[in-house]
Amino acid sequence: MTLRVLLLLPLFAVLVACSRSEGLGESAGGVNVGDVPAAEWQPLPPAPAVSTEVQAARDRILGPEATDPATVKLWWYGVSSFIASAGGHLFLFDAWESVGLQEDYVPIGREELVAIQPEAILIGHGHFDHAADAGYVAGHTGAALVAGQTVCNTARERAAQLGAMAAFPCVVLGSRESPGPGALQQLRLWRDLPPLRVLQHIHSAVDPSDLLTGGLPLIFVPQVLSFLEHLNTDPREIAGFVQSLTDDGLLGQPEGGTWAYHLRVGDFSLLWHDSTGPIGDEEPQGPAVQAALDGFPGCVDVQVGAIVGFGMVTSGLRDSTLYVASAHPQLFLPSHHDAWAPVLGGGAAAYETQWRNALASLENPPELDYLRDPEDYMKPRVFRVDDPRWKVPMPGSSCAG
């Protein structure tokens, strides 16, 4: 080996490290490095064996047999964030410890998310209350991040700021403009599970013109006591929260896009989304999103979706109800309705009556499992994939056609 080669080796190592930390790598030779377009993603292997320490953390935080492959399980930990297991794999939907004006309202935080070592993090959109801890968790665990391009960028920056330097790949789904609302992508995230279907849809939005066509704001009594009982006085937490407020744009459609995930395991299918935007027939992309919600392979057995958003200011629960009417689930679980922010996050009790009435107005209303805060935080929802009920299509769905 020449002297020149010996001198260049350290520089080569630095360049490789920088390309990983900046997300400039590519998928090659079956290995996912840096940012990888969804179409080029190499599926992750079957669920790896975990250390005794990680298994103990999973048992303590999630209970025994959290990754039983015969079940799909969900643990809600605030806003639209869920720990999930399916086919023996453990992963996250969204990643944010609910902090800001409050602390310890949710029984776990980002440290526990790291301790259980999720294999992947699926982000619905990049606003702070959904993705602010994606970099922290991925940067400490190496978990694969699935998100829009700007979310990948922010996560890498946040991980570096916090000293979380584990290399993690990011599956890039697109951006606000690409591929566009109503578009479906197929993503084989794991080698031993069927592909995910990823739908780009529309974030919730305030439209004052709704008030001119009969729209009404949602009237509710917000919960405020929880913020006084769990007041956040940690200056570091408050500073981190303030820093994250403008992630992917505080208001409006996120730069990194808005994504819904549909997964199947055996006879069971799950649809999760963390926002509900205007998708009526009068909206340019509304019919396409409606058709996609009703067109998932095997339809939707369980839908977990946001019921509170900006749209409630001018159109009440119209948009979130239309998501359910379009997807035709057998069972619905609400999210994004807990007391995570004063007034806007009114607490589950503030919306329950209105939401029950909204679902009852549907031609084929689903069964409702109404999650309530704080008692339902980290209380597992367990679905057996071979339950005979999943073989019966929901009336009104394309599977029943």
pLDDT tens digits, one per residue of 117-145:
999 999 999 999 999 999 999 999 999 99
pLDDT tier, 236 (very low <50, low <70, confident <90, very high otherwise):
confident
Residues counted in the chain: 401
* Residue 359, both tokens: 């679902």
What is the arithmetic mean of pLDDT over 202-229? 85
How many angstroms separate the CA atoms of 2 and 175, rounded?
46
| Axis crossing angle, helix 149-161 with helix 134-141, rounded to the nearest 10 | 70
Q: Are 101 and 89 spatial neighbours (Cβ–Cβ below 8 Å)?
A: no
How many angstroms separate the CA atoms of 87 and 333, rounded?
21
What is the arithmetic mean of pLDDT over 295-302? 96
Least confident of 266-275, 322-331, 343-352: 343-352
pLDDT of residue 30: 63
* Average pLDDT value over all residues in the chain: 90
What is the arithmetic mean of pLDDT over 9-29? 37
Question: What's the pTM?
Answer: 0.92
Least confident of 12-21, 337-346, 361-370: 12-21
- Which of 377, 324, 331, 370 lies closest to 350, judged by CA? 370
Between 101 and 246, the more confident residue is 246
How many angstroms separate the CA atoms of 303 and 398, rounded?
16
* No. of helices (H) and no. of strands (E), the chain: 12, 15
What is the arithmetic mean of pLDDT over 101-115? 93
Q: What is the largest CA-CA distance in the chain?
A: 79
